[in-house]
Amino acid sequence: MAEIAQVTRQTYENWEKDVGQPKINQFISLCVHCGLDASGLVRSLKSITSQFLKNGPNKRKGESYARSSKQ
């Protein structure tokens, strides 16, 4: 799989350990090699990213933040 993504075995093993992540072109290469439809996964990621940007990185669904009075 590392060869398909054109990375070292160590890099691929790090991805498996949630240390770093593949670039989109590497991700798509892996999807194609495994016979997965990357377009559906990319659309899902786009939706998740939009929600993340809308809510902020630490905000959970239904949670609100009080604004700090310090400036």
- 32-48 residue pLDDT tens: 999 988 888 778 888 88
Query: In Å, what is the CA distance from 67 to each residue of 23, 38, 54, 62?
Result: 35, 39, 16, 16
Say if pTM beats, i.e. exceeds, 0.85: no
**pLDDT recorded at residue 63:** 52
CB 38 within 8 A of CB 28: yes
Kindly indicate the confidence band of residue 2, based on its pLDDT and cuts at 50, 70 and 90. Answer: very high
2: helix, coil or strand?
helix
11 has pLDDT over 90: yes
CA distance 65 to 71: 16
